Structure 1
Amino acid sequence: MCNTMTSLPNLLTIADLGCSSGPNAFEAIWEIINVSSNLYQSKNVGLPEFKVFLNDLIGNDFNTLFRSLPEFHRKLKDANFGQCFVSATPESFHGRLFPNDFLHLVHASSSVHFLSQVSVPQLEILKNTRKIDLKTIRITKLIKRDEIVRGGQMVLNFRGSTQSDKPDYKQDYELLGLALHNLVLKGRIKEKELDGFNVPFYTPSIEEVQRLIEMQDSFTIKNIETFTIDWGLKDTDLILTLNERAKHASYSFRAITGPILASQFGALIIDELFDQFEAMVMQCLEVGKLDMMNFVISMAKK
């Protein structure tokens, strides 16, 4: 980040968009602070202070998130990093969150594969042909061209597809649909509620993302990486049982989809729904692994 700015500020302002309420938010911020501090040290410049804004929707459980803050501050102190001031920004990132030329770095992980505003007819077209106005993809709402200083950076981590004409939904949303259907059969969800439910989920290809950024004409792409994530944790060094891996996959997916599902079907069925989902994940893990294609894109403001 610092290599793209004309001077090194004494205070780095950072925003994490779609931070959720789990520990991953502080893990991401830790990595940002660690890398930034190492860059400053390599240039023989005094360590900066950090101002971090954790952003998510108003309904996010910020109380749970901030219970991890004392431990995070202790970790920073042990590493001899600069002071870090953390605050919440509870608002949708679809609109303006910060003043002009305010942020040095914006980070967003797993926040951009949902469409921002898509009608039911558009969704039907998307399901059949993937022909959809790229301007509706939520990534355009994340590109904070006015709020980032010149030379500041955005780092986006999100689901993607290898080809624009081959959506990579894999098993996760298929299993969710089956779990919801089971609850309909049990009478826990009304069929008309399920029929009227659409998850505006879209996994763009690298080519589509590049076109979106070029359309904005405010950022230069610095790096693009693609990798697969085994969300069933098969290809890791962790020694986990199938049950533990299924629980992890269910918990991770619930963090992403839980609020959407609760708003449609009510919070009372969420536990039961993901118990069903977890059982289905377990069945899949018994015969293979669960992979997701992911992209990481870093870009600097022109």
Structure 2
Amino acid sequence: MKLVEVLHMNGGIGDISYANNSLVQRKAILMTKPIIEQAIRDLYCSLLPKNLCIADLGCSSGANTFLVVSELTKTIEKERKKHGFQSPEFHYLFNDLPSNDFNTIFQSLGEFEHDLRKQFGEGFGPCFFSGVSGSFYTRLFSSKSLHFVHSSYSVHWLSQVPNLIEKNKGNIYMSSTSPPSVIKAYYKQYEKDFSIFLKYRSEELMKGGKMVLTFLGRESEDPSSKEGCYIWELLGIALNELVIEGLIEEEKVDSFNIPNYTASPAEVKYLVDKEGSFTINKLETTRVHWNYASNTNNENIYNNGGYNLSRAIRAVAEPLLVSQFDPKLMDLVFQKYEEIVSDCMSKEKTEFINVTVSMTRNN
């Protein structure tokens, strides 16, 4: 089965949907808000577009999709009113893979647009919304048609599972026990994918256009460090427990690898500079504690941390897992995962590291 067919978040609005289990992603968007605001403000003031075209890559579905649109629109409206300009026409392009739950997005659009008009009042420009299905490792938009590109928690996903010449035995991602060839293969795939991503976005963005990307990364220069790998290492432990219990074949775990790469800022800078189409305006890391996956009040957050984080990872990873393992085992897998995660959270400082890069397309 092709990766584009199974790499998607759990759709709908149920208990294990991405829409109801994406508080870490929401926190990351809010933490990077100053960088996004500065980039869109600089873009607007330098180009003063009458028609503003913005693409959100890997938009998924749920409240986070609309949070980004709302914040971008708010910044533009504040800036144009300050200068006494007419509101531009807004065109928002929601991109994700064809298997994404676009239906949930479009079913919510009417209410969202009504809220925007209520918030910004008379004189607010018309808004147009489009869905664009396809991999962002391909061309998605016409040449020089975009002013601004945003992506949060998406570009760490690779276009395919790396081509491994050795088995990554006992692991489902890079780890300290992975053969050096596995680490090398993961970086090689990331280098290829991110370079292609930059090339295509440079063709789609107009001169002076901006792009802000936030993705899971690491501060360490060791790709197999816990900073970027721990969350998957613990899921691998849960799967291996089911191997020991005879419920999953060992070969199935050994041949399953997560198509993800958590890059360091140095790796990002190197590849952006090497590709040459963009100038980096800002490159920084932020940290989000695993407890932010919790949707409970503060006094209960530590009691429910493992449960909520396991649901958050399930919302992201379950479609990949069921392409390899029996769907009937998913409840058991994530029950074990919850126990393992809860134990780690009680003993260690457990954090996600986000890398955010703000760029301008070169002339």
Please indicate, yes or no, whether the TM-score normalized by the shorter chain is above 0.5: yes
Q: Deviations over 1:129-182 (max 9, x none)?
A: 689437635333432010111111111001222132353225311211111112
Quickly say closer, same or farther: Cα 1:129–1:22, change in 2 above 3 A: same
The corresponding residue for 2:289 is: 230
Q: Secondary structure at the match of 1:264?
A: coil
Partner AA of 1:264 in structure 2: Q
Matched residues, number? 302
The corresponding residue for 2:219 is: 162
Quickly say closer, same or farther: Cα 1:253–1:119, change in 2 above 3 A: same
The corresponding residue for 2:258 is: 199
Does 190-199 or 94-103 show the bigger shift?
A: 190-199
> In structure 2, what is the Cα distance between the partners aligned to 1:255 and 1:235?
14
Does 211-220 or 255-264 show the bigger shift?
A: 255-264
The corresponding residue for 1:136 is: 191
Q: Secondary structure at the match of 1:133?
A: helix
The corresponding residue for 1:105 is: 148
Q: CA deviation at 1:242?
A: 3.4
Of residues 34, 43, 50, the one that matches 1:10 is 50
Q: Secondary structure at the match of 2:262?
A: coil
Does 202-211 or 64-73 show the bigger shift?
A: 64-73
Residue 88 (structure 2) pairs with residue 31 (structure 1): no
> In structure 1, what is the Cα distance between the partners aligned to 2:241 and 2:61?
29
The corresponding residue for 1:86 is: 129
Aligned residues with identical type, % of pairs: 36
Q: Secondary structure at the match of 1:213?
A: helix
Structure 1: runs of 5+ lacking an equivalent? none
The 8 Å contact of residues 135 and 212 in structure 1, kept in 2 or not, is answered as no
Does 209-218 or 2-11 show the bigger shift?
A: 2-11
The corresponding residue for 1:149 is: 206
The 8 Å contact of residues 125 and 132 in structure 1, kept in 2 or not, is answered as no
- The TM-score, its normalising length taken from structure 1, stands at 0.88
Q: CA deviation at 1:127?
A: 4.6
Partner AA of 1:195 in structure 2: D
Partner AA of 1:10 in structure 2: K
Q: Secondary structure at the match of 2:305?
A: helix
The 8 Å contact of residues 58 and 151 in structure 2, kept in 1 or not, is answered as yes
Quickly say closer, same or farther: Cα 1:152–1:112, change in 2 above 3 A: same
Residue 333 (structure 2) pairs with residue 270 (structure 1): no
The 8 Å contact of residues 57 and 96 in structure 2, kept in 1 or not, is answered as yes
The 8 Å contact of residues 129 and 165 in structure 1, kept in 2 or not, is answered as no
Q: CA deviation at 1:234?
A: 9.0
Quickly say closer, same or farther: Cα 1:43–1:238, change in 2 above 3 A: farther
- The TM-score, its normalising length taken from structure 2, stands at 0.74
Q: CA deviation at 1:125?
A: 3.2
Q: CA deviation at 1:57?
A: 1.1
Does 6-15 or 267-276 show the bigger shift?
A: 267-276
The corresponding residue for 1:291 is: 351
Does 24-33 or 249-258 show the bigger shift?
A: 249-258
> In structure 2, what is the Cα distance between the partners aligned to 1:289 and 1:235?
16
Quickly say closer, same or farther: Cα 1:103–1:288, change in 2 above 3 A: same
The 8 Å contact of residues 307 and 338 in structure 2, kept in 1 or not, is answered as yes
Partner AA of 1:286 in structure 2: S
Residue 220 (structure 2) pairs with residue 177 (structure 1): no
Partner AA of 1:161 in structure 2: R
For residues 201-216 of structure 1, the aligned pairs below 5 Å read 201-216=260-275
Does 222-231 or 259-268 show the bigger shift?
A: 259-268
Partner AA of 2:140 in structure 1: L
Structure 2: runs of 5+ lacking an equivalent? 1-39, 167-173
Q: Secondary structure at the match of 2:353?
A: strand
For residues 57-76 of structure 1, the aligned pairs below 5 Å read 57-76=97-116
Does 166-175 or 93-102 show the bigger shift?
A: 166-175
> In structure 1, what is the Cα distance between the partners aligned to 2:324 and 2:62?
23
Q: Secondary structure at the match of 1:202?
A: coil
> In structure 2, what is the Cα distance between the partners aligned to 1:224 and 1:244?
33
The corresponding residue for 1:51 is: 91
Does 225-234 or 53-62 show the bigger shift?
A: 225-234
The 8 Å contact of residues 220 and 300 in structure 1, kept in 2 or not, is answered as yes
RMSD (Å), alpha carbons? 2.8
Partner AA of 1:3 in structure 2: D
